[in-house]
């Protein structure tokens, strides 16, 4: 048995910016997500970030991609499950000024103690200190060098 056997990679939360680019069919983002899935890294996908991506893209192809992300072996769609979580989401939204889509990612990252994968580090830097515990995030390069 190898030393690494049984150790699972730390999860990441996909924010709305990443899901929007995935839904638009960006190959680099999809390759990154598929790579994380292949290594067994849990991909925590906020249901509200999926909503943001669906609103941004509004196409059958985008919907198929979003459904496909849900089917990845390591993906976990994270809903707002009850009033307690809805109130926590409202508190983070009010405290940070983030939209509800990204506030949901922040709530998940805070609860799971894991980083947010984003294309917009500046947004997260602005709000990272607005909470009792700092948010951690990983910025990926803009797709296609944009």
Tell me what the pLDDT averaged over the chain comes to: 90
pLDDT interval class at 88 (50, 70, 90): very high
Backbone phi, psi, residue 138, to 5°:
-125, 120
Options 2.60.120.10, 3.40.50.450, 3.20.20.140, 3.40.50.1010; CATH for 12-141 is 3.40.50.1010
pLDDT interval class at 2 (50, 70, 90): very low
- Rounded CA-CA distance 146/131 in Å is 31
pLDDT interval class at 1 (50, 70, 90): very low
pTM, full prediction: 0.89
Torsion sign, CA atoms 33, 100, 139, 27? positive
Residue 93: name the closest of 76, 78, 105, 111 by CA: 105
Q: What is the pLDDT of residue 132?
A: 75
Kindly list the distances between the CA atom of residue 29 and the CA atoms of 32, 60, 89, 134, 135, in Å, as whole numbers in the listed order: 5, 19, 27, 26, 22
**Alpha helix segments (H runs only) across 39-82:** 47-57, 60-71
Q: Is the pLDDT of residue 84 over 60?
A: yes
- Rounded CA-CA distance 57/62 in Å is 6
């Amino acid at each position: 048995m190898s030393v690494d056997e049984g150790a699972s990679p730390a999860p990441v939360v996909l924010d709305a910016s990443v899901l929007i680019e995935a839904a638009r069919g960006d190959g680099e983002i999809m390759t990154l997500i598929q790579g994380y899935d292949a290594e067994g890294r849990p991909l925590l996908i906020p249901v509200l970030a999926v909503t943001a991506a669906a609103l941004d893209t509004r196409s059958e192809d985008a919907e198929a991609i979003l459904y496909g992300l849900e089917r990845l072996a390591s993906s976990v769609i994270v809903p707002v499950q009850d009033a307690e979580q809805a109130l926590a989401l409202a508190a983070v939204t009010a405290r940070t000024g983030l939209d509800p889509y990204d506030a949901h990612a922040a709530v998940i990252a805070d609860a799971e103690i894991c980083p947010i994968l984003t294309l917009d580090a500046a947004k997260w830097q602005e709000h990272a200190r607005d909470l009792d515990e700092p948010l951690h995030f990983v910025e990926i390069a803009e797709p296609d060098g944009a």
